[in-house]
Structure formats: C-alpha cells, structure tokens
Amino acid sequence: MSEIKTFRAASLEAAMELVRQDLGEEAVILQSREVAQNRLLTWLKAKTEIEVTAGIGSRWERAAIDFSNSAGLDLESLNEEPLNSSEEQNEPALESIESEDKTQEPTRLSALEERLNSIQSMLEQMGQQQIVSSSVDVPVELFDLYAELIDVDLDESLARDLIYRLRQEAGALISEQPDRARHLLTGMVERELNCSGPIQVVAQQQKVVALVGPTGVGKTTTIAKLAANFRLRDGIKMGLVTVDTYRIAAVEQLRTYAEIIDLPMKIVTSPQEMQQAMDELSDMDLVLIDTAGRSPKDELKIKELKQLLAAANVDEVHLVMSLTASMKSLLSTARNFARADVTSLILTKLDEADSLGAVLSLNRELNLPVSYLTTGQNVPDDIEPALYDRLARLILGRDVLH
C-alpha cells in the first residue's frame, strides 16, 4: 500500500517542495487544506499554514486512498482491523489468518474484496477526481493545471491569479475541452510576458549596447555570442570594448574571440579612456561593451559603472542574470543594478535551471523586458531572442531548449 505523509508549510508552494524532497517526483497530492498554527499564547490570533497530504503508489491505490481520506476510511488498516465491528476484540488480524484459521480466509478475502470494490465503484461515479480542499480556493477541475504552474516554480499568488482568470475565460471549456483550456493558459502566460526582442541595428546609425551584471552569469560569453552573430551572420560593422580589467582571463577570452571574428577591441579603465575608445570606434554601426562583474550590493562600484556607461553614451544597457539563482537574489540584483539605467534583461543558463517559472515572476515584479535567452556555452550558438510564444512554452515546460 502507498506511503502517506502530511506536510505543513507557510504556503502551498513550500509544502509541495517538502513533498518532492521527501517522497520524490512521483508523489501525488491527495489533499490540501488551510490549518491554524498551534499558539502558546492562545489569546493571540493564530496564523495559518497549508497542510498537504501526499502519497506514492499505483494509480488505483492513489485514487482509493484519496477517496478514503475524504470518506473517513483507513485503507492502511484494512489488513489489520476486523471487518465486522462485533468481532473487534476476538478476531485475529488478516495477516495471521493463514496460520491460525485457514477456513476463514476465503470469507475474509471475499469481504475485503467486496469492500474495496464498493470504494472503487464510488470512485468511478465521482470520475476518480482528487479531493481538493476548498480552503485553498483552487477549482477542482483546474487543479492539475495549477499544480503544473507550481511545479515550474511559479509564484503561488501568480499561479492562483492565472487559474482564476482561466476559469472566467474558459468557462465550460474546462471540462468539455481540456486541451483548449491548456492552450488558453499558454496564451495568458504570453500576455503576462514582456519581451523586447533582439538588438536592432541600422546602418550608419551607431548603436552602443552595454552588458552589466554580477560575476559568474556569463556576460563575456554572451558578448562573444552576440558579436559572432552580428558580424558573421548579419555582416554588421562593429567593435568591442571591455572594462573587465579585474579578470585578465576574461579580457584574454574576449580578445581571442575578437581576433577570430576579426573585430577591433578596446580596453578601458576610466571614463576618459572610454570617451577615447568611442571616438576611435565612431565609424562602427554597433559597439558592444563588456563590463566587469560587480556585486549588486557594492554601491561604489555601481556608481563607477554608471559613470563609464555615461562616458560611452550608451543606448541600451542589458542586465545579464543567471536563472540558476534564487528568485530573491534575482530581484535584489535587478533592483540594485537599476541605478545603472538598465533597459532590458538577458537571462542566461536556462539549460542549468531546474525550471523557468521565475521568468514570469520577474516580468511581473520588474518593469524590464527580456531581450535574449542563453541555453548553453557554445559560441556563437546557444543564444536566441526572447519571443513571446517560445518563452511562454518554455516556462510551462511545453517546449525544449535547442
């Protein structure tokens, strides 16, 4: 029989994470409800938690256990408790019948089978739907879609908002055409997104674009991918500038790419040198600037960065962030780098992220469009413009990374 456990946490998302850690990805949510925390000071208003009951086992076992929970039955004890309450004190457990009284086995097995068949019949009449507590306010018919949103690490409040709107928009389609309801949800996620698309370059109208961000997010590799595509694929006349003089390896890496692609490259350390570099690259249609990784909490370094970018008279500032970071870290980074006049986001390491739900939450929390996605280390491949339909499918786990 399935293993059933109960978990409590401050939110449904946190409770489901506990379920995954303890029971694994095959766990099935049997029931969820809102409960009050135990308080030592009883006169204070009790806070609430989400209690989730989950189990693992075959599909039939899951459905039977789910129903038994709602009906007050204990299937785990069917092998131990007598089926006839009048014989409760005298009748042996089912497990010991074979050794103690083989003549009773057919009768007891028949009774057990009849009871289980009765439960199965009732489940079939109910459509074998999981019982979901109304305390979490998620429509039963949309619980599977809600669980999918939580599973891709979408913020719980955002997931609930999408589900409520889907119920209003889909109406009868929810039960009559589930695939259509799923399609509508994808469209709703698309409308939540904010994408700027790729960098637009016009001949003889110089555009200066800088990439900023914390250390370790892949700025230099991303610059190399962009440069290779603009120069080799699109034939854009362009140059590179780096101010990442803190990491010699990063400068040499970019210099190697510049030589391979046959691009002019300038190294600067001050606003004055930046102005001089831009003068020397004035005939280029596109200039990409690679900056040193800086801690988003280092206000002095962010101020220096802003001065360098002002000297370059940049048109666009793309904040590069890795989706392997936590949502809290991503938001903190974005808010601190906002002082550098960030205009859009480049999201990297999608291939290393467990899920992409954070993209939607970032779009809602920040007034910044996504320009590019990177999906690996290969140069010039593994980078693509952020497109609404593609990004929505990736977030929902309905598309694959190339």
Please indicate, yes or no, if residue 29 is contained in any of the structural domains: yes
Q: State the Cα–Cα distance between residues 190 and 388, nearest whole angstrom.
A: 6
Residue where a domain stops, chosen among 136, 164, 184: 136
- For the record, the structure tokens of 198 come out as 């790729």
Q: What is the pLDDT of residue 181?
A: 81
Residues 252 and 385 in one domain: yes
pLDDT in tens, 258-277: 888 899 999 998 999 999 99
305 touches 212 (CB < 8 A): yes
Q: Sheet of 48-56: strands edge to edge?
A: 3-9, 48-56, 28-36
Rounded to 5 degrees, what angle do the CA atoms 169, 171, 174 make? 105
Q: DSSP string of 80-127?
A: TS-SSGGGTTTSPPGGGHHHH-GGGHHHHHHHHHHHHHHHHHHHHHTT
What share of the chain has pLDDT > 70, as a percent? 71
Please indicate, yes or no, if residue 197 is contained in any of the structural domains: no
Q: What is the pLDDT of residue 74?
A: 46
Q: State the Cα–Cα distance between residues 24 and 395, nearest whole angstrom.
A: 22
Q: State the Cα–Cα distance between residues 14 and 391, nearest whole angstrom.
A: 25
* Residue that has been written with the tokens 């510049």 in this structure: 258
Residue where a domain stops, chosen among 136, 163, 183: 136
Tell me: pLDDT of 75 over 80: no
Q: What is the pLDDT of residue 172?
A: 66
Residues 361 and 212 in one domain: yes
Residues 227 and 348 in one domain: yes
Between residues 115 and 155, the one the model is more confident about? 155
* Residue that has been written with the tokens 């074979």 in this structure: 98
pLDDT in tens, 344-370: 999 999 999 988 988 998 888 888 999
Residues 282 and 347 in one domain: yes
| Residue 355, domain CATH | 3.40.50.300
Q: Which domain holds residue 111?
A: 3-136
Please indicate, yes or no, if residue 199 is contained in any of the structural domains: no
Residues 176 and 118 in one domain: no
Lowest-pLDDT range of 23-32, 250-259, 276-285: 23-32
Residue where a domain stops, chosen among 148, 166, 192: 192
Please indicate, yes or no, if residue 402 is contained in any of the structural domains: no
Number of structural domains found in the chain: 3
Lowest-pLDDT range of 9-18, 111-120, 187-196, 250-259: 111-120
Mean of pLDDT values over 82-106: 45
Residues 148 and 130 in one domain: no
Q: What is the pLDDT of residue 151?
A: 86
pLDDT level of residue 139 (50, 70, 90 thresholds): low
Please indicate, yes or no, if residue 98 is contained in any of the structural domains: yes
Mean of pLDDT values over 282-305: 83
* Residue that has been written with the tokens 């469209």 in this structure: 187
Residues 99 and 122 in one domain: yes
Does the global pTM surpass 0.75? no
Q: Is 198 helix (H, G, I), strand (E, B) or coil?
A: coil
Please indicate, yes or no, if residue 200 is contained in any of the structural domains: no
Residues 110 and 147 in one domain: no
Please indicate, yes or no, if residue 202 is contained in any of the structural domains: no
Residues 83 and 146 in one domain: no
Residues 27 and 118 in one domain: yes
Mean of pLDDT values over 98-119: 57
Please indicate, yes or no, if residue 198 is contained in any of the structural domains: no
For the chain, the 3-state helix, strand and coil shares in percent, each to the nearest 5, are 50, 15, 35
Name which of 164, 151, 142 is nearest 356 in CA terms.
Answer: 151
Q: What is the pLDDT of residue 364?
A: 84
Residues 176 and 314 in one domain: no
Sign for the pseudo-dihedral over CA of 291, 293, 297, 300: negative
Residues 241 and 227 in one domain: yes
> 26-30 long-range contacts, Cβ below 8 Å, gap at least 24?
26/56, 27/54, 27/55, 27/56, 28/54, 28/55, 28/56, 28/57, 28/62, 28/66, 28/130, 29/53, 29/54, 29/130, 29/147, 30/4, 30/54, 30/55, 30/62, 30/65, 30/66, 30/69, 30/130, 30/131
